[in-house]
Chains A and B, each alone.
Chain A
Amino acid sequence: MARVHNWQIGREMSYWYPESRPEKQFAAVFDTNKCIACQTCTLACKTTWTSGKGQEYMLWNNVETKPYGSYPLAWDLKLLDMIGGSQWNGGVYEGQTIFESAPAGERVMGWKPEAQDYAYPNVGEDDCAGQVDGGAEFSLPHMAWFFYLARICNHCTYPACLASCPRGSIYKRPEDGIVLVDQGRCRGYQECVKGCPYKKVFFNPMTGTSEKCIACYPKMELGLQPQCFVNCIGKIRMAGYLSTPDKARADNPLDYLVHVRKIALPLYPQFGLEPNVYYIPPIHVPTPFLRQIFGPGVDAAVAAYRNAPNDDDLAGLLSLFGSTESVMTRWVRQGQEVAGVDDRGTTLVRVPLTEPVVERAAFDRVYQIMRHNCP
């Protein structure tokens, strides 16, 4: 085991290999407040990559309802139980990561999902925490809540899938940090399936190898965002590249959201993988629950997000979500307009902070007709 630095848990930790960061790191921000669980992302991925034999049950992208939803079943609860609570002291995680708590003979602490665990991808969908009865629906704020958590592979800085593979069949691309299973080398031992805490590697029983999200790398190489991003109906997603905190650039949209404004947070940072999909937490969910999932930064993140209407930079950048298929490596706000820019400095898209509102007169003068729904 080597000692490596994990900025998400504010300390050094043990990892199977020495620290080796890619030239740039594929990363994403998902705004949970905007997800409507339409599953368009799930289908976009499914039709693009996993429509083959043996891939039937695989959802490289899935959307689950929290608190009760999970795919595979109880993926997060099982591991939270195994690592035994998550103690934070400010920004420093004081508990054990899955690498540090690996039992004798194992490279990481993990568990093996079985076929049955994948059988209920929609379990708990739209189920809220708590009862809504006795007229509770008329009181505000509602005491019952749920939210949608869209999930893909996190293309972790310290991937547990990669550390678990005894054959070195999993690699992290030095050019963009995308984590891939070498399909020519994999022998289907399922060590990665067991090791990945997010359960984002799947065993294909027909080919006998394990498969996972590839961050649509053929698209990313062309400067285009992955399928689940560009098909997102709620426009909740933005893909790009994230720097380490010390090299954060305010004009990089992901750096700005993650490092500068700190409104986008990693998923279960206490597992220790430095995952690279970041979530803007839902603003209506009790903080103890959010802290368990997204770590200690949730209070500040929720406060900043709530204040976005008074914050032109933040509101502007959030307006760029879902505005173009291209990867925006830079962004700039000019007055009441924001622009997404690529590496070459080309403006990819311009979006107003406030969409113009057009009020249509009830009476259409051209056709001399009333335009409303009343008879």
Chain B
Amino acid sequence: MRTIWTVLLVVALGAGAACRRPPAPTPDVVAVATATLPGDPLDRAWQAAPEHVAALLLQDLVEPRLMTPSTAAVRVRALVSGDEIALRLEWADVEADDRPGPGQFPDGCAVQFPQKAAASAPDPQMGQLGQGVDITFWRADWQATVNGRGDTIQELYPNATVDHYPFDARSLERGSDAQRDMATRYAPAVGAGNVRGAWRTSAVEDLVAEGPGTLSPAATTVSRGGGVRTADGWAVVIVRPRPEGLSLQAPATVAFAVWQGGAGEAGARKMRTGWVPLSMREAP
């Protein structure tokens, strides 16, 4: 009798576990409708979304090309709530590269959508003239800044010594406009209004493009996002406006890119996908 109860218990536990098992991987990205979108890549709510494994291709279409493959695939889950979509990207990268420097490149990832829902999608490699793409980009060094890495050269090179910065002159009152002006004088990218040059408050950036070499910052960054280290790589969540045309009835498309900083990847040198179908469904 005792044996029968034990067997029943095991079967019941097994069935329970089967109920909690995440949905099986899907050939496309399937975004599941949900009440709220998790911002944390480790949130259990992600288990509700099926995983799509997107194989990554070399960007070998335009110079400068990537000639040696690095990251093989990115695992993607998606959730939709109201006007927003959240995408969770996870990929393997044993070494975390989150420090910018000469010859040193940070890890990163990006999601890309056609700006307009149309019968024919724009060129997947950064869109094309008249058929632009919206991109949200996450970078490991921005994440490190958001996580609290300080704004000093010693944070990047602990043994660096600096005699003097002109904006530290005793004649300049701390925090005054005059001090800020002096600092900007020696930070030309900040002076030119380059959003990349400024101190970061977000780990992601919204961009637009109409073909290779045309990438520009969007008027404002409305997307949110953040990434964490996993046992063997990165998991990143990007929350952004729901792509035009995506509904329970109508699918859309999405593309992904991953940069492995340790392999010297930056800009056009990246692993990428073509357009991947993106559909939406109600939560089960």
Q: Which residues of A contact B (CB under 8 A)?
A: 49-57, 104-107, 112-115, 117-118, 164, 166-168, 182-191, 193, 202-209, 211
Contacts and interface: CB of A to CB of B under 8 A. Distances in A.
Contacts of B196: 186-188, 207-209
A105 B66 contact: yes
B193 interface: yes
A56 B104 contact: no
B142 to A, nearest CB: 9
Given A114-B102, A183-B189, A106 B162 contact: no
Interface of B: 60, 62-67, 99-105, 141, 151-153, 156-157, 160, 162, 164-167, 183, 185-194, 196-197, 212-213, 215, 264, 266-269
Q: Taking each of A166, A168, A203, A207, which has the highest tally of chain B beta carbons within 10 Å of its own beta carbon?
A: A207
B192 to A, nearest CB: 4
Complex A-B, nearest 8 residue pairs according to Cβ-Cβ distance, in ascending order = A52-B186, A105-B65, A189-B267, A114-B103, A184-B192, A207-B197, A207-B189, A183-B192
Contacts of B191: 183
A230 B166 CA distance: 22
A207 B63 contact: no
A209 B194 contact: yes
Contact of A187 (B156, B160, B186, B267): B267
Contacts of B183: 52-53
A184 B186 contact: no
Contacts of B65: 104-106
B189 A168 contact: no
A168 B187 contact: no
A188 B60 CA distance: 20
A273 B64 CA distance: 19
A33 to B, nearest CB: 33
B194 to A, nearest CB: 5
Q: Taking each of B165, B189, B192, B197, which has the highest tally of chain A beta carbons within 10 Å of its own beta carbon?
A: B189
26 contacts: A51-B165, A57-B102, A105-B64, A106-B64, A115-B102, A115-B103, A115-B157, A118-B102, A168-B213, A182-B192, A183-B192, A184-B194, A186-B189, A186-B194, A189-B268, A203-B100, A203-B101, A204-B187, A205-B101, A205-B104, A205-B153, A208-B141, A208-B197, A209-B188, A209-B196, A209-B197
Contact of B64 (A54, A191, A193, A205): A191
Contact of A205 (B60, B156, B188, B268): B156
A8 to B, nearest CB: 25
A56 B194 contact: no
A205 to B, nearest CB: 4
A206 B153 contact: yes
Given A166-B64, A190-B266, A53 B102 contact: no
Nearest to A57: B102
Q: Taking each of B64, B99, B185, B267, which has the highest tally of chain A beta carbons within 10 Å of its own beta carbon?
A: B64
Contacts of A187: 196, 215, 267
B193 to A, nearest CB: 6
A183 B63 contact: no
B176 to A, nearest CB: 17
B102 A203 contact: yes
Contacts of A51: 164-166, 186
Contacts of B264: 112
Contacts of A207: 187-190, 194, 196-197
A207 B183 CA distance: 12
Nearest to A168: B213
B153 A167 contact: no
B246 to A, nearest CB: 29
